Structure 1
Amino acid sequence: MMDSILHQVADKALDQLSAQGYVEGGHNGPYFDPETPVRNTAHWATTFAVLFKKQGDERYRKAVEQCITYLKSNAARPMQSAFFCRTSVRKDFSNGTIGQAWAIEGLVSGYQVTGDENCLELAKQTFLLHVFDERLNIWKIRNVDGSVRGFDMTFNHQLWLAAAGYVLLSVVDDTEIRRQCDAFMSALPERLRVYSNGLIKHDLVNTPTTIKKIRAVVDQVQQSYRLKKAGKTKQYKENGYHLFNIYAFALIKEFGGNVEFMKLPAFQKALAYCGSDELYAWQEESNRKIDYNNMKGVSHDTINIYGYSYNAPGFELPYIAKVFATELPAQNDRIKTIIEKQIEWTYDAEKASFSRNTEDENTLNARLYEYVRAL
């Protein structure tokens, strides 16, 4: 059923491309940060590339060309530096390291279909715009105007830039990109933090000195106490993002990255958590009051606002289970159930759109690109 839905949603995206040369941006799900067409157009470049490879339909090849034409345009990079991904004046316009990672993915997909070497050059340039700290083994944000911002302190943002780097390296070798990605992965024992059940913690902890490590521990204890006292928890959000993190690890494994991470006890626990009932109970959690974030503007409380409504386990789990089939066996029944729930809770057949129980149907539709990699 999901495959037929995929084609229905793809047809609507084709219409948008034909009419305006890009796919409409969303607003980053429940965060309501208005986004340019960069993210969703890059996502759709991957979806159309996969569909073209599977079916040879000329419409999909043309769609890929239109996507990368937009990504190479001045509108996407108005100052010829980082991609212009969002317009919120409260945050950086490049959407940290992850906004650039998504653009890199789209460019690689474009190259794989069209053979356009300019896609590879732009993807390499975009990756290397990020300043890599040799002591901490993480990247700083490059602003749209070319200036350098501080470190991106969200773990999955750093992880996805590494994943995009390996996706790029699968089609063109670059010594510096590989060195940086491998260095980031070698530091995972310090960066990948999980709870006792394997749930990945959202924040990146920057503790290069003993004093900072002590302060970080004290801050974490104090924050946990405050949240518990207020009846709040970070785990509502972190469960919504768990599969999104593991999906990036799956990309790293499939595209020839440094797989030493698979030996880490923290990763093994995190991967095992993907097969737990606890994770999917959190995905269905309707008590948004326990979220430590005060997410204004969200209109529903039927399911976890970071899960099916945004990060879409029905799109992510199939690929994760495919790549980690040996380490995470016997997931077929769960995948079937999760896909059915994704459709039941978020798909509107009349609109041919994943528009139910979500604030951002444009982005949720575009995130089908995560699902197509499992095909």
Structure 2
Amino acid sequence: MIISMTACPTPSELILRAASRFKSLSYLENGVPAGWNGPHHDPQTPLRNSAHWVIILLRAAELSGDSWFREAARTLTERILSDSSFAEGRVPVARQKLSKDTVNGVIGVAWIVEGLVEAGNKLGWSEPLDAAVKLCKYFPYNAELGAWNVREHDGTLRGIDSTLNHQIWYAMARAMCVPHAPYLADELRQFLATLDRHCRLNGEQMVTHMLSFPLTTKLGLISRAESIVRIIDPWIGNQLLRKAPIYKRLHSLAKYHAAKEAGYIIFTLHGLARIKALGWDLGRVDAVSREAFARSVKPDFMAALKRNTWSYGYNPPGFEVMEVFRQFGDGSALERAAVAEHYRTQLDMTYTDGGAFIGIADPETAEARLYPLALLSNENFSAFERIVADGGPAR
């Protein structure tokens, strides 16, 4: 049974319900469910969701005063650190799909780093911080392309991770580690200085899904051709062109990326917002982010987002939007209402009155992806609770 609007739990209640379910389902004893990364259907190892749960449990301990949650977070962190890869100086295996890399691009490391840094900071514990810093040194930076390469679990280099939100998330993870390892700031500074070449808006004012590669590369040529198809397709009258195999392939790719760019928009902006919240200057990307967020709160976009495969049932804008609003919003009534609506819609579409997530591609990962709520500062968390409570001013 999906919860009703009137039964909508507050963010505090949601975190405490989740932490209580973690305890009642004996995740600590039986292991955290690994999930399969939603509609991607990529089987994961438990490390990603375990790192998410560390963050949720630590916030639940603060909200409830229950030391069990704090100790559970410590035990779960120890379990993450017990992976043999850490002792071997490797990146742990994050996903198990033969057709893809084992580390889930650079974002697989970022998700683990988030949990380790939170554990280290909140528990006053150096070991997870040291492990997080080591993970951030594993991927080599390509200064020419302005992005990080992927290195496999076995040490093999696989080239640039071409997904923009992956690169942003990894940059955010490095930003979390900089206070403990200042030298990590050098590559991060280089990345942000050239990020505007990658962080562009499509025709719908959404941030593009892929990095921008030079035309001298295969990916650069494909990306440019796809962009041209997006522009000319509404005006094409020649059916022979539409039926051409190369055009059909490019049109399919453009449609796929456009759906992702809409469904991922709050997720992508959330990574940028957290980098900014950590004190980093986004340069011209700040204006791009503000424009994208302004488009994302329009009623027609909000309505369409409910039908997007990559949105509420996978990426959780209802849990990620507050930091985006704080960093890129203008504080208007429209935006406040959109923040509250994202939260209500997230729960209406995916949450049950028993506290579980159902009717979506990967309910176990969806539950663990509550963690962005737990990462909010105390001030922003309280502000979010107020916005949710009053529903945002009426439009």
Q: Does 1:16 align with 2:19?
A: no
Structure 2 partner of 1:258: 281
Shift of 1:262: 4.9
Within 5 Å, which residues of 2 pair with 1:310-329? Answer: 310-325=314-329, 327-329=330-332
* Distance in 1 (alpha carbons) for counterparts of 2:216 and 2:272: 28
Tell whether the 8 Å contact from 1:199 to 1:238 is kept in structure 2 after alignment. yes
Aligned length: 350
Q: Please state whether the residue corresponding to 2:283 is helix, strand or coil.
A: helix
* Distance in 1 (alpha carbons) for counterparts of 2:134 and 2:220: 34
Structure 2 partner of 1:71: 80
- What is the CA deviation profile of residues 46-103 of structure 1, one whole-angstrom value per residue up to 9, with x for unaligned ones? 1122233344321121121022112211256585401211111111110010000011
Structure 1 partner of 2:199: 192
- What is the CA deviation profile of residues 338-367 of structure 1, one whole-angstrom value per residue up to 9, with x for unaligned ones? 2222111111223x21123x1101100000
| 1:255 counterpart letter in structure 2 | L
Q: Does 1:243 align with 2:266?
A: yes
Shift of 1:261: 4.1
Structure 2 partner of 1:156: 165
Q: Does 1:38 align with 2:60?
A: no
Structure 1 partner of 2:389: none
- What is the CA deviation profile of residues 225-252 of structure 1, one whole-angstrom value per residue up to 9, with x for unaligned ones? 5368669453222211000000001110
Tell whether the 8 Å contact from 1:77 to 1:84 is kept in structure 2 after alignment. no
| 1:329 counterpart letter in structure 2 | S
Structure 2 partner of 1:165: 174
Structure 2 partner of 1:354: 357
Tell whether the 8 Å contact from 1:185 to 1:261 is kept in structure 2 after alignment. no
* 2:346 counterpart (332, 339, 342): 342
Question: Closer, same or farther in 2 for the Cα pair 1:76/1:367, shift >3 Å?
Answer: farther
Shift of 1:328: 4.9
* Distance in 2 (alpha carbons) for counterparts of 1:306 and 1:215: 23
* Runs (5+) with no aligned partner, structure 1: 286-303
Shift of 1:195: 1.5
My pick for the range that moved more, 273-282 or 39-48, is 273-282
Q: Does 1:274 align with 2:296?
A: yes
Q: Does 1:283 align with 2:291?
A: no
Q: Please state whether the residue corresponding to 2:213 is helix, strand or coil.
A: coil
Tell whether the 8 Å contact from 1:195 to 1:201 is kept in structure 2 after alignment. yes
* Distance in 1 (alpha carbons) for counterparts of 2:104 and 2:256: 25
* Distance in 1 (alpha carbons) for counterparts of 2:221 and 2:189: 28
Shift of 1:105: 0.5
Question: Closer, same or farther in 2 for the Cα pair 1:84/1:233, shift >3 Å?
Answer: closer
Shift of 1:183: 0.7
Q: Please state whether the residue corresponding to 2:43 is helix, strand or coil.
A: coil
Q: Tell me how large the CA RMSD over aligned residues is.
A: 2.5
Question: Closer, same or farther in 2 for the Cα pair 1:48/1:29, shift >3 Å?
Answer: same
Tell whether the 8 Å contact from 2:318 to 2:346 is kept in structure 1 after alignment. yes
Question: Closer, same or farther in 2 for the Cα pair 1:66/1:201, shift >3 Å?
Answer: same
Tell whether the 8 Å contact from 2:133 to 2:181 is kept in structure 1 after alignment. no
Structure 2 partner of 1:288: none
* Runs (5+) with no aligned partner, structure 2: 1-8, 234-246, 382-395
Tell whether the 8 Å contact from 1:354 to 1:364 is kept in structure 2 after alignment. yes
Tell whether the 8 Å contact from 2:146 to 2:195 is kept in structure 1 after alignment. no
Which entry has the higher C-alpha Rg, 1 or 2?
2
Within 5 Å, which residues of 2 pair with 1:107-256? Answer: 107-169=116-178, 171-175=179-183, 177-207=184-214, 216-222=223-229, 225-226=247-248, 232-256=255-279
| 1:238 counterpart letter in structure 2 | E
| 1:309 counterpart letter in structure 2 | G
Structure 2 partner of 1:29: 38
Question: Closer, same or farther in 2 for the Cα pair 1:106/1:25, shift >3 Å?
Answer: same
Structure 1 partner of 2:385: none
* Distance in 2 (alpha carbons) for counterparts of 1:18 and 1:213: 46
Q: Please state whether the residue corresponding to 2:62 is helix, strand or coil.
A: helix
- What is the CA deviation profile of residues 124-169 of structure 1, one whole-angstrom value per residue up to 9, with x for unaligned ones? 1101100101211210012111222211010100010001111222
Question: Closer, same or farther in 2 for the Cα pair 1:212/1:197, shift >3 Å?
Answer: closer
Tell whether the 8 Å contact from 1:28 to 1:363 is kept in structure 2 after alignment. yes
Q: Does 1:363 align with 2:365?
A: yes
Shift of 1:210: 9.5
Tell whether the 8 Å contact from 1:207 to 1:216 is kept in structure 2 after alignment. no
| 2:294 counterpart letter in structure 1 | A
* TM-score relative to the length of structure 1: 0.85
* Distance in 1 (alpha carbons) for counterparts of 2:353 and 2:196: 45
| 1:16 counterpart letter in structure 2 | S
Q: Please state whether the residue corresponding to 1:150 is helix, strand or coil.
A: strand
**What is the aligned-residue identity percentage?**
26
Question: Closer, same or farther in 2 for the Cα pair 1:109/1:263, shift >3 Å?
Answer: closer
Shift of 1:277: 2.2
* Distance in 2 (alpha carbons) for counterparts of 1:90 and 1:213: 22
